[in-house]
Structure 1
Amino acid sequence: MDWYLAGIEQLAIVRGLKASFVAYPILNALHIMSIGALLTSVWLMDLRILGAFRSLPYAAFVALLRRTAFTAFAGALVTGSLLFSVRAREYAAMSIFLTKMTLILLAGANFLVFMRHAKGGDEPAGGVASVLAVLSLVLWTSVLFAGRFIGFLN
Protein backbone atom coordinates (compact mmCIF):
# COMPACT_ATOMS: atom_id res chain seq x y z
CA MET A 1 0.00 0.00 0.00
CA ASP A 2 2.87 2.36 0.76
CA TRP A 3 4.20 2.05 -2.81
CA TYR A 4 0.73 2.96 -4.14
CA LEU A 5 0.47 6.05 -1.91
CA ALA A 6 4.04 7.06 -2.79
CA GLY A 7 3.08 6.74 -6.45
CA ILE A 8 0.14 9.08 -5.93
CA GLU A 9 2.48 11.64 -4.39
CA GLN A 10 4.69 11.49 -7.50
CA LEU A 11 1.97 12.15 -10.08
CA ALA A 12 2.66 15.17 -12.29
CA ILE A 13 -0.38 17.09 -11.06
CA VAL A 14 0.65 16.48 -7.45
CA ARG A 15 4.21 17.61 -8.08
CA GLY A 16 2.72 20.72 -9.70
CA LEU A 17 0.61 21.39 -6.62
CA LYS A 18 3.65 21.05 -4.38
CA ALA A 19 5.73 23.36 -6.57
CA SER A 20 3.13 26.10 -6.97
CA PHE A 21 2.94 28.97 -4.52
CA VAL A 22 -0.76 29.62 -5.22
CA ALA A 23 -2.30 26.33 -6.39
CA TYR A 24 -2.47 24.58 -3.02
CA PRO A 25 -4.03 27.53 -1.11
CA ILE A 26 -6.58 28.03 -3.90
CA LEU A 27 -7.39 24.32 -3.89
CA ASN A 28 -7.75 24.41 -0.11
CA ALA A 29 -10.10 27.41 -0.35
CA LEU A 30 -12.21 25.61 -2.98
CA HIS A 31 -12.39 22.59 -0.68
CA ILE A 32 -13.61 24.78 2.18
CA MET A 33 -16.18 26.43 -0.11
CA SER A 34 -17.44 23.01 -1.23
CA ILE A 35 -17.71 21.80 2.35
CA GLY A 36 -19.57 24.97 3.33
CA ALA A 37 -22.08 24.52 0.51
CA LEU A 38 -22.46 20.81 1.30
CA LEU A 39 -23.06 21.31 5.01
CA THR A 40 -25.40 24.25 4.47
CA SER A 41 -27.56 22.33 2.01
CA VAL A 42 -27.56 19.18 4.17
CA TRP A 43 -28.46 21.13 7.30
CA LEU A 44 -31.28 22.98 5.53
CA MET A 45 -32.65 19.72 4.06
CA ASP A 46 -32.49 17.92 7.38
CA LEU A 47 -34.05 20.81 9.26
CA ARG A 48 -36.90 20.84 6.69
CA ILE A 49 -37.41 17.13 7.28
CA LEU A 50 -37.51 17.82 11.02
CA GLY A 51 -40.26 20.41 10.54
CA ALA A 52 -38.56 23.75 9.90
CA PHE A 53 -39.46 25.97 6.92
CA ARG A 54 -42.94 24.47 6.58
CA SER A 55 -44.04 27.43 4.48
CA LEU A 56 -41.72 26.21 1.71
CA PRO A 57 -42.95 23.34 -0.47
CA TYR A 58 -41.14 20.21 0.64
CA ALA A 59 -40.44 18.60 -2.76
CA ALA A 60 -39.09 21.73 -4.49
CA PHE A 61 -37.05 22.84 -1.47
CA VAL A 62 -35.45 19.44 -0.93
CA ALA A 63 -34.86 18.87 -4.66
CA LEU A 64 -32.97 22.16 -4.96
CA LEU A 65 -30.88 21.45 -1.88
CA ARG A 66 -30.21 17.87 -2.93
CA ARG A 67 -28.78 19.08 -6.26
CA THR A 68 -26.70 21.65 -4.40
CA ALA A 69 -25.47 19.00 -1.97
CA PHE A 70 -24.51 16.61 -4.79
CA THR A 71 -22.62 19.34 -6.64
CA ALA A 72 -20.88 20.47 -3.46
CA PHE A 73 -20.02 16.87 -2.54
CA ALA A 74 -18.47 16.37 -5.99
CA GLY A 75 -16.42 19.53 -5.52
CA ALA A 76 -15.32 18.44 -2.04
CA LEU A 77 -14.44 14.98 -3.37
CA VAL A 78 -12.27 16.32 -6.19
CA THR A 79 -10.55 19.00 -4.13
CA GLY A 80 -10.17 16.73 -1.12
CA SER A 81 -8.61 14.00 -3.24
CA LEU A 82 -6.09 16.47 -4.61
CA LEU A 83 -5.30 17.79 -1.12
CA PHE A 84 -4.87 14.19 0.07
CA SER A 85 -2.54 13.40 -2.82
CA VAL A 86 0.08 15.90 -1.67
CA ARG A 87 0.72 13.90 1.54
CA ALA A 88 -1.05 10.63 0.82
CA ARG A 89 1.20 8.40 2.95
CA GLU A 90 1.03 10.72 5.93
CA TYR A 91 -2.76 11.18 5.78
CA ALA A 92 -3.48 7.49 5.19
CA ALA A 93 -1.59 6.66 8.39
CA MET A 94 -3.64 9.10 10.51
CA SER A 95 -6.50 7.60 12.49
CA ILE A 96 -8.43 10.88 12.31
CA PHE A 97 -8.28 10.80 8.50
CA LEU A 98 -9.56 7.21 8.50
CA THR A 99 -12.28 8.29 10.92
CA LYS A 100 -13.30 11.08 8.54
CA MET A 101 -13.51 8.66 5.61
CA THR A 102 -15.58 6.24 7.70
CA LEU A 103 -17.95 9.04 8.71
CA ILE A 104 -18.38 10.04 5.06
CA LEU A 105 -19.24 6.43 4.16
CA LEU A 106 -21.75 6.27 7.04
CA ALA A 107 -23.32 9.57 5.95
CA GLY A 108 -23.62 8.21 2.42
CA ALA A 109 -25.22 5.00 3.68
CA ASN A 110 -27.62 7.06 5.79
CA PHE A 111 -28.58 9.02 2.67
CA LEU A 112 -29.23 5.82 0.72
CA VAL A 113 -31.47 4.51 3.51
CA PHE A 114 -33.31 7.83 3.55
CA MET A 115 -33.83 7.71 -0.23
CA ARG A 116 -35.26 4.22 0.11
CA HIS A 117 -37.88 5.60 2.50
CA ALA A 118 -38.64 8.71 0.39
CA LYS A 119 -41.13 7.99 -2.33
CA GLY A 120 -41.33 10.09 -5.48
CA GLY A 121 -39.96 13.25 -3.88
CA ASP A 122 -42.76 13.37 -1.32
CA GLU A 123 -42.09 14.01 2.32
CA PRO A 124 -41.17 10.69 3.96
CA ALA A 125 -43.69 9.61 6.54
CA GLY A 126 -43.04 8.36 10.02
CA GLY A 127 -40.35 8.68 12.62
CA VAL A 128 -37.72 6.99 10.47
CA ALA A 129 -37.21 10.15 8.42
CA SER A 130 -36.65 12.22 11.55
CA VAL A 131 -34.16 9.75 12.96
CA LEU A 132 -32.27 9.67 9.66
CA ALA A 133 -32.28 13.49 9.46
CA VAL A 134 -30.82 13.80 12.97
CA LEU A 135 -28.25 11.12 12.14
CA SER A 136 -27.35 13.03 8.97
CA LEU A 137 -26.83 16.24 10.95
CA VAL A 138 -24.58 14.43 13.43
CA LEU A 139 -22.59 12.54 10.78
CA TRP A 140 -21.91 15.48 8.45
CA THR A 141 -21.03 17.76 11.34
CA SER A 142 -18.66 15.06 12.62
CA VAL A 143 -17.07 14.87 9.16
CA LEU A 144 -16.40 18.60 9.39
CA PHE A 145 -14.81 18.33 12.83
CA ALA A 146 -12.71 15.30 11.85
CA GLY A 147 -11.48 17.18 8.78
CA ARG A 148 -10.45 20.16 10.85
CA PHE A 149 -8.52 17.92 13.26
CA ILE A 150 -6.48 16.46 10.41
CA GLY A 151 -4.48 19.66 10.08
CA PHE A 152 -3.72 19.79 13.80
CA LEU A 153 -2.95 16.17 14.64
CA ASN A 154 -0.01 15.46 12.37
Structure 2
Amino acid sequence: MEFFQAVEQLAPVRLLKASFIAYPIVNAVHIAAIGALLTSVVLMDLRIVGAFHALPERPFIKLLRRLALLAFSLAALSGLLLFSVRAAHYAQLPVFIAKMGIIALAGANFIVFTSIEASRQTHHSPKVLRPLAVVSILLWCAVLLCGRFIGFL
Protein backbone atom coordinates (compact mmCIF):
# COMPACT_ATOMS: atom_id res chain seq x y z
CA MET A 1 0.00 0.00 0.00
CA GLU A 2 2.96 2.32 0.58
CA PHE A 3 3.76 2.16 -3.12
CA PHE A 4 0.28 3.39 -4.07
CA GLN A 5 0.43 6.15 -1.46
CA ALA A 6 3.78 7.22 -2.89
CA VAL A 7 2.26 7.34 -6.39
CA GLU A 8 -0.39 9.75 -5.09
CA GLN A 9 2.36 12.08 -3.85
CA LEU A 10 4.24 12.35 -7.13
CA ALA A 11 4.44 15.93 -8.37
CA PRO A 12 2.52 15.34 -11.64
CA VAL A 13 -0.23 13.52 -9.72
CA ARG A 14 -0.53 16.35 -7.20
CA LEU A 15 -0.79 18.80 -10.10
CA LEU A 16 -3.51 16.67 -11.67
CA LYS A 17 -5.42 16.61 -8.38
CA ALA A 18 -5.10 20.37 -7.92
CA SER A 19 -6.02 21.37 -11.46
CA PHE A 20 -9.56 22.53 -12.05
CA ILE A 21 -9.17 21.74 -15.75
CA ALA A 22 -6.75 18.80 -16.13
CA TYR A 23 -8.64 16.10 -14.22
CA PRO A 24 -11.97 16.64 -16.04
CA ILE A 25 -10.12 16.62 -19.37
CA VAL A 26 -8.32 13.35 -18.52
CA ASN A 27 -11.64 11.89 -17.37
CA ALA A 28 -13.35 12.96 -20.61
CA VAL A 29 -10.51 11.49 -22.68
CA HIS A 30 -10.87 8.22 -20.74
CA ILE A 31 -14.61 8.08 -21.36
CA ALA A 32 -14.21 8.91 -25.06
CA ALA A 33 -11.47 6.29 -25.47
CA ILE A 34 -13.59 3.65 -23.77
CA GLY A 35 -16.51 4.57 -26.01
CA ALA A 36 -14.33 4.23 -29.11
CA LEU A 37 -12.86 0.97 -27.82
CA LEU A 38 -16.19 -0.61 -26.98
CA THR A 39 -17.79 0.55 -30.23
CA SER A 40 -14.95 -0.72 -32.41
CA VAL A 41 -14.75 -4.05 -30.55
CA VAL A 42 -18.51 -4.66 -30.71
CA LEU A 43 -18.73 -3.76 -34.42
CA MET A 44 -15.68 -5.89 -35.24
CA ASP A 45 -16.94 -8.86 -33.22
CA LEU A 46 -20.44 -8.59 -34.66
CA ARG A 47 -18.91 -8.73 -38.15
CA ILE A 48 -17.02 -11.87 -37.16
CA VAL A 49 -20.23 -13.39 -35.77
CA GLY A 50 -21.92 -12.77 -39.10
CA ALA A 51 -23.48 -9.31 -39.09
CA PHE A 52 -22.87 -6.60 -41.70
CA HIS A 53 -22.46 -9.00 -44.64
CA ALA A 54 -22.43 -6.07 -47.06
CA LEU A 55 -19.09 -4.92 -45.64
CA PRO A 56 -15.94 -6.75 -46.72
CA GLU A 57 -14.74 -8.65 -43.67
CA ARG A 58 -10.94 -8.25 -43.83
CA PRO A 59 -10.73 -4.47 -44.44
CA PHE A 60 -13.54 -3.78 -41.94
CA ILE A 61 -11.88 -5.84 -39.21
CA LYS A 62 -8.44 -4.43 -40.00
CA LEU A 63 -9.71 -0.85 -39.65
CA LEU A 64 -11.63 -1.54 -36.44
CA ARG A 65 -8.76 -3.50 -34.90
CA ARG A 66 -6.44 -0.52 -35.42
CA LEU A 67 -9.04 1.81 -33.92
CA ALA A 68 -9.55 -0.56 -30.97
CA LEU A 69 -5.81 -0.76 -30.27
CA LEU A 70 -5.45 3.02 -30.45
CA ALA A 71 -8.49 3.53 -28.22
CA PHE A 72 -7.24 0.91 -25.76
CA SER A 73 -3.86 2.67 -25.56
CA LEU A 74 -5.53 6.00 -24.89
CA ALA A 75 -7.91 4.46 -22.33
CA ALA A 76 -5.03 2.73 -20.55
CA LEU A 77 -2.93 5.90 -20.39
CA SER A 78 -5.79 8.11 -19.22
CA GLY A 79 -6.95 5.38 -16.83
CA LEU A 80 -3.49 5.21 -15.30
CA LEU A 81 -3.63 8.95 -14.70
CA LEU A 82 -7.09 8.70 -13.13
CA PHE A 83 -5.92 5.78 -10.99
CA SER A 84 -2.88 7.70 -9.77
CA VAL A 85 -5.03 10.33 -8.04
CA ARG A 86 -6.49 7.79 -5.58
CA ALA A 87 -4.22 4.80 -6.17
CA ALA A 88 -4.26 3.50 -2.58
CA HIS A 89 -8.06 3.59 -2.51
CA TYR A 90 -8.65 2.07 -5.96
CA ALA A 91 -6.08 -0.70 -5.46
CA GLN A 92 -8.16 -2.03 -2.56
CA LEU A 93 -11.51 -2.04 -4.37
CA PRO A 94 -12.66 -5.52 -5.39
CA VAL A 95 -14.39 -4.04 -8.44
CA PHE A 96 -11.12 -2.41 -9.57
CA ILE A 97 -9.27 -5.70 -9.14
CA ALA A 98 -12.08 -7.41 -11.08
CA LYS A 99 -11.79 -4.81 -13.85
CA MET A 100 -8.06 -5.42 -14.20
CA GLY A 101 -8.64 -9.17 -14.25
CA ILE A 102 -11.31 -8.87 -16.91
CA ILE A 103 -9.02 -6.68 -19.02
CA ALA A 104 -6.37 -9.39 -18.71
CA LEU A 105 -8.92 -12.01 -19.81
CA ALA A 106 -9.93 -9.82 -22.77
CA GLY A 107 -6.26 -9.53 -23.71
CA ALA A 108 -5.82 -13.31 -23.48
CA ASN A 109 -8.95 -13.77 -25.60
CA PHE A 110 -7.47 -11.39 -28.19
CA ILE A 111 -4.19 -13.34 -28.26
CA VAL A 112 -6.02 -16.65 -28.71
CA PHE A 113 -8.23 -15.10 -31.38
CA THR A 114 -5.32 -13.65 -33.38
CA SER A 115 -3.37 -16.92 -33.07
CA ILE A 116 -6.28 -18.89 -34.49
CA GLU A 117 -6.95 -16.23 -37.10
CA ALA A 118 -3.30 -16.33 -38.23
CA SER A 119 -3.49 -20.09 -38.71
CA ARG A 120 -6.93 -19.87 -40.34
CA GLN A 121 -5.39 -20.38 -43.75
CA THR A 122 -4.55 -23.89 -42.58
CA HIS A 123 -8.09 -25.33 -42.23
CA HIS A 124 -9.58 -23.43 -39.28
CA SER A 125 -13.17 -22.53 -39.90
CA PRO A 126 -14.34 -18.97 -39.21
CA LYS A 127 -16.94 -20.64 -36.98
CA VAL A 128 -14.16 -21.33 -34.48
CA LEU A 129 -13.69 -17.56 -34.08
CA ARG A 130 -17.35 -16.76 -33.44
CA PRO A 131 -17.47 -17.88 -29.79
CA LEU A 132 -14.31 -15.88 -29.10
CA ALA A 133 -15.96 -12.81 -30.65
CA VAL A 134 -19.01 -13.23 -28.41
CA VAL A 135 -16.74 -13.65 -25.37
CA SER A 136 -14.89 -10.48 -26.41
CA ILE A 137 -18.11 -8.46 -26.45
CA LEU A 138 -19.12 -9.80 -23.04
CA LEU A 139 -15.69 -9.14 -21.51
CA TRP A 140 -15.46 -5.55 -22.75
CA CYS A 141 -19.01 -4.80 -21.60
CA ALA A 142 -18.03 -6.19 -18.18
CA VAL A 143 -14.97 -3.90 -18.15
CA LEU A 144 -17.24 -0.94 -18.86
CA LEU A 145 -19.63 -1.95 -16.10
CA CYS A 146 -16.82 -2.38 -13.56
CA GLY A 147 -15.44 1.03 -14.52
CA ARG A 148 -18.77 2.66 -13.88
CA PHE A 149 -18.99 1.01 -10.46
CA ILE A 150 -15.51 2.32 -9.64
CA GLY A 151 -16.69 5.81 -10.55
CA PHE A 152 -19.41 5.63 -7.94
CA LEU A 153 -17.46 4.12 -5.04
Give how far 1:125 is off.
Answer: 2.0
Q: Identical aligned pairs, as a percentage?
A: 56
Q: Which residue of 2 aligns with 1:129?
A: 129
Give how far 1:126 is off.
Answer: 4.1
- Report the Cα distance in structure 1 between the residues aligned to 2:110 and 2:30, rounded to whole angstroms: 21
Give how far 1:3 is off.
Answer: 1.3
Give how far 1:120 is off.
Answer: 7.4
Q: Which residue of 2 aligns with 1:66?
A: 65
Give how far 1:11 is off.
Answer: 1.0
- Report the Cα distance in structure 1 between the residues aligned to 2:57 and 2:134, rounded to whole angstroms: 17
What TM-score comes out, normalization by structure 2 length? 0.95
- Report the Cα distance in structure 2 between the residues aligned to 1:72 and 1:151, rounded to whole angstroms: 20
Counterpart amino acid of 2:3? Answer: Y
Give how far 1:65 is off.
Answer: 0.3
What TM-score comes out, normalization by structure 1 length? 0.94
C-alpha distance after superposition, 1:90-134 (max 9, x if no partner): 000000000000000000000000001102797x62432111001
Quick check: which one's helix share is greater? 2
Counterpart amino acid of 2:149? Answer: F
- Report the Cα distance in structure 2 between the residues aligned to 1:84 and 1:147, rounded to whole angstroms: 11
What SS does the corresponding residue of 1:118 show, helix, strand or coil?
A: helix
Q: Which residue of 2 aligns with 1:93?
A: 92
- Report the Cα distance in structure 2 between the residues aligned to 1:99 and 1:59, rounded to whole angstroms: 33
Counterpart amino acid of 1:38? Answer: L
Across the two proteins, how many residue pairs are aligned to each other?
Answer: 151
Say whether the 8 Å CA contact 1:49–1:129 is kept in structure 2. Answer: yes
CA RMSD of aligned residues (A): 1.4
Q: Which residue of 2 aligns with 1:53?
A: 52
Q: Which residue of 2 aligns with 1:141?
A: 141
User: Structure 1: where are the runs of 5+ without partners?
Assistant: none
Q: Which residue of 2 aligns with 1:150?
A: 150
Distance 1:78 1:37, change over 3 A: same
User: Structure 2: where are the runs of 5+ without partners?
Assistant: none
